[in-house]
Structure 1
Amino acid sequence: MKRIVKIIKKMLITIGIVMGVMTIVGLLFVTMSPQFGGKATKEQQKEYAKSENYKDGKFSNLGGVKMDMSGKDMLKAIGGMFKSIPESRPASDLMVQKVDSINIAAYAHEKTRFMWFGHSAFLMQTQGQNILIDPMLSEVPAPHPWLGGKRFSDSLPIEIAQIPQIDAVLISHDHYDHLDYESIIQLKDKVRRFFTPLGIGKHLIAWGVPKEKIVELDWGQKASFNELTFISTPAQHFSGRGVSDRDTTLWCSWIIQSPTEKIFFSGDSGYASHFKTIGDTYGPFDIAFMECGQYNTLWPSVHMFPEETAQAGVDVKAKKIMPIHWGAFKLAQHSWTDPVQRVLKKAEEINIDVLIPEIGKLTYIDQEDSTSNQWWKAM
């Protein structure tokens, strides 16, 4: 009996040591890893406090909407990330269209065109400007490759090193699938200006981006850039990269206005009345890039279901929508084609045009409906 007690004690001590070491390693990783970004200074916090959306050190949604999840639901969500879901990934790596830097550099003042990297990342060319939107161009949307699933494709339409000079980068919020440390490190020296919602600048500065290259905007604020105007508009979401920085940076949607076109980019957002307000205030839009993927009944307030995506396109008064936030990563418990199948069905019901180009295809925003080429079915 004594021997059994001794063995149990040794096992408990061993387990305690292992857990202690794991805790220390985790704390060191969170503290020292640059992926987690920067912290706001007291001066920056004073600036944020001028915002109507900032209170008690946190940003908030219109109406105070929160992503309220119980501990049980949180465990379900975490477990779901590793759960086997039928067809949650393509059967093989997605084939992407390749584009070379010469083609991109040759663009002058033609009609607005864009190239989708998958998920919410774009290269847009308009008025002779090169614009990157939410350039998460790494393999895994997580602070460490072990903490997430790989991209559906084994390569990008164009590698970061080949991307020519970028005039502006727009960032919607600081989650890993939208703001990526490795991508920013590789891009920062070829970017003229970064436009972000309030608070994101602290991450960029921590990663070596000069402060004078960063423009932070609150909802409703605008910035002129060459022949373009960027307007930060509301989204219903949340933010945070670590264990203690929840909602310490703002999230937003974006409007891009040129002398000839208006474009809406939803960022991440649950469905709410802000879409109609944006449409009434700034619309109509030539195209709206609308979040459509990574949804779950556990977090309905911060991500849209595909049917809501289509309706949001109507609300913002878009001539057509392109569903985004899918086609690159498994971040929720649905098949990888569920978003596009459902949004197409709803869009047909409510009579709104949909554009769904292949990843990497250079596409003009006035292009006719591309859904006849349902490329995802061949994957």
Structure 2
Amino acid sequence: MKKMAKTMIIIASTLALIVISVVLFMALSPQFGGLPTQKQQLIYNQSPQHRDGKFANMGDVKMEMTGKKFWAMLKEQFNVHPNATPAQPPHPVSMDSTDLLRHNGDFRLFWFGHSSFLIQTNGKNILIDPMLGQSASPVPFIGVKRFNKKMPIEIEQLPLIDLVLISHDHYDHLDYQSIKRLKDKTEAFYTPLGVGAHLRAWGVDSMRITELDWWQHAQLDELSFTCTPAQHFSGRGKWFSDQASTLWCSWVIQTPEKKVFFSGDSGYGPHFKTIGEKYGPFDLALMECGQYNDLWKEIHMMPEETILAAQDIKARIVMPIHWGAFKLAMHDWLDPITRASAKANETGLPVITPRIGEGLLLNGEIPATTQWWDERRNEPIITANQ
């Protein structure tokens, strides 16, 4: 009996230690960001998107994950999904730091995988959703890992950044470690309402943060940036109390010569046509395509919808994004680009598929890219559990 009691005490102590560790981590870890001041919250409360204490989508569209949907999602998580991650990681093209310093011409962009970009235009360096870390999770050692360990360039090798654009506060778009490494070499941050609280908690000066509501815009010399709607949600998971406490968005980027649309994360909805009517046509649409499932299609587009959305905003060229870096859903890792490309070919909309790290010029011609992703189909199949 004494031996059993001792064992029970050890088990209980271990469980208590685990619980205390989790609580302390949730309470103290900077990964979760910050909260708005009372004054800032009063401003957020005046937003047309802020209802019943939370931000909301147009038409109050929500992702419902209850009842049958919940159990279906749980079942999918435990199923084996062939080719969910690549057998061999994508090989990024190395970016030349000296070349980045020399460029001062046409609109040029580099893709880091998923939804992260460096844009160079009109003498400015702009980063979009710079998730440049290795784990899309608040707990890096057990979280979702990036397919490729080597990045096209290290943050420290990037030129000085004039502006960071952020679409929402999820971990695969807003990365604590990336912001910490960027904050001292970045002039300004533009975010949707509420996201600035995270940046301030991480040491970014308030004077360098501009928070915008949908349809508001900010000017950086001759460049214009408009915060436009998306159909998604927000929250970094601290006690689940911060769900929908910050706004999510897409971005319209306008230079004197070019117009580019960045979708952020979004389900397919009527907001795309509205954006197209207000700001289209666009020279290029960087359009979400990946991490989808029928169970949550309200907040992530299916690949065919990616192309429909690009048509809705009147895009001349579309680049499918939000794939190629992380496994955040249960589909084949190449399924997004394969299906979106097939739909684009069917509709006649030009699609570009650059390699990670490859620089593209947007100079009036359709940038030439290869179907590098199609070559990967000859790899041995690897399952999500291998």
TM over 0.5: yes
Deviation for aligned residue 1:370 = 3.9
> Structure 1 stretches (4+) deviating beyond 3 angstroms?
9-19, 71-84
- State the distance in 1 between where 2:67 and 2:205 align: 40
1:282 equivalent in alignment to 2:279: yes
What's the RMSD between the two structures over aligned residues? 1.9
Which string of whole-angstrom CA distances, capped at 9 and with x for unpartnered residues, describes residues 300-344 of structure 1? 100000000000000000001000000000000001100000001
297, 306, 317: which one aligns with 1:300: 297
1:181 equivalent in alignment to 2:211: no
191, 208, 216: which one aligns with 2:186: 191
2:361–2:367 Cα contact (<8 Å) kept: no
1:36 equivalent in alignment to 2:32: yes
345, 348, 361: which one aligns with 2:345: 348
- State the distance in 1 between where 2:138 and 2:30 align: 9
1:45–1:57 Cα contact (<8 Å) kept: no
1:155 equivalent in alignment to 2:153: no
- State the distance in 2 between where 1:158 and 1:376 align: 21
Deviation for aligned residue 1:12 = 5.9
Match of 1:368 in 2: 366
2:193–2:246 Cα contact (<8 Å) kept: yes
User: SS in structure 1 opposite 2:112?
Assistant: strand
Query: Cα–Cα, structure 1 residues 95 and 238, in superposed 2: closer, same or farther, change >3 Å?
Result: same
Match of 2:379 in 1: none
Match of 2:306 in 1: 309
Deviation for aligned residue 1:71 = 6.2
Deviation for aligned residue 1:253 = 0.2
Q: Which moved more, 1:85-94 or 1:134-143?
A: 85-94
Match of 2:199 in 1: 204
1:81–1:331 Cα contact (<8 Å) kept: no
User: SS in structure 2 opposite 1:23?
Assistant: helix
1:236 equivalent in alignment to 2:231: yes
Matches within 5 A, 1:251-262: 251-262=248-259
1:18 equivalent in alignment to 2:14: yes
Match of 1:86 in 2: 82
Query: Cα–Cα, structure 1 residues 127 and 369, in superposed 2: closer, same or farther, change >3 Å?
Result: closer
- State the distance in 1 between where 2:232 and 2:163 align: 24
Query: Cα–Cα, structure 1 residues 182 and 72, in superposed 2: closer, same or farther, change >3 Å?
Result: farther
Deviation for aligned residue 1:67 = 1.2
User: SS in structure 2 opposite 1:298?
Assistant: helix
Match of 2:159 in 1: 164
269, 274, 280: which one aligns with 1:272: 269
Deviation for aligned residue 1:369 = 5.6
1:221 equivalent in alignment to 2:216: yes
The letter for the 1-side match of 2:280 is: G
Deviation for aligned residue 1:185 = 0.2
1:124–1:131 Cα contact (<8 Å) kept: yes
User: SS in structure 2 opposite 1:209?
Assistant: coil
TM-score normalised over the length of structure 2: 0.92
Query: Cα–Cα, structure 1 residues 238 and 147, in superposed 2: closer, same or farther, change >3 Å?
Result: farther
User: SS in structure 2 opposite 1:105?
Assistant: helix
307, 313, 318: which one aligns with 2:315: 318
2:317–2:366 Cα contact (<8 Å) kept: no
1:94–1:154 Cα contact (<8 Å) kept: no
1:123–1:133 Cα contact (<8 Å) kept: yes
Query: Cα–Cα, structure 1 residues 258 and 151, in superposed 2: closer, same or farther, change >3 Å?
Result: same
Unmatched 5+ stretches in structure 1: none
Deviation for aligned residue 1:85 = 2.0
- State the distance in 2 between where 1:368 and 1:185 align: 36
User: SS in structure 2 opposite 1:280?
Assistant: helix
Query: Cα–Cα, structure 1 residues 207 and 77, in superposed 2: closer, same or farther, change >3 Å?
Result: farther
Match of 1:65 in 2: 61
Deviation for aligned residue 1:298 = 1.6
- Identity across aligned pairs (percent)? 53
1:353–1:369 Cα contact (<8 Å) kept: no
Query: Cα–Cα, structure 1 residues 272 and 281, in superposed 2: closer, same or farther, change >3 Å?
Result: same
User: SS in structure 2 opposite 1:255?
Assistant: strand
Deviation for aligned residue 1:147 = 3.5
Match of 1:327 in 2: 324
Match of 1:250 in 2: 247
Unmatched 5+ stretches in structure 2: 377-386
- State the distance in 2 between where 1:259 and 1:211 align: 29
Q: Which moved more, 1:186-195 or 1:151-160?
A: 151-160
2:227–2:249 Cα contact (<8 Å) kept: yes
Deviation for aligned residue 1:15 = 4.6
- State the distance in 1 between where 2:157 and 2:103 align: 15
Q: Which moved more, 1:14-23 or 1:290-299?
A: 14-23
TM-score normalised over the length of structure 1: 0.94
- State the distance in 2 between where 1:200 and 1:138 align: 19
- State the distance in 1 between where 2:251 and 2:346 align: 27
Aligned residue-pair number: 373
Query: Cα–Cα, structure 1 residues 355 and 174, in superposed 2: closer, same or farther, change >3 Å?
Result: same
- State the distance in 1 between where 2:146 and 2:97 align: 22
- State the distance in 1 between where 2:77 and 2:227 align: 31
Deviation for aligned residue 1:137 = 0.2
- State the distance in 2 between where 1:210 and 1:27 align: 29
91, 100, 113: which one aligns with 2:108: 113
- State the distance in 1 between where 2:171 and 2:74 align: 16
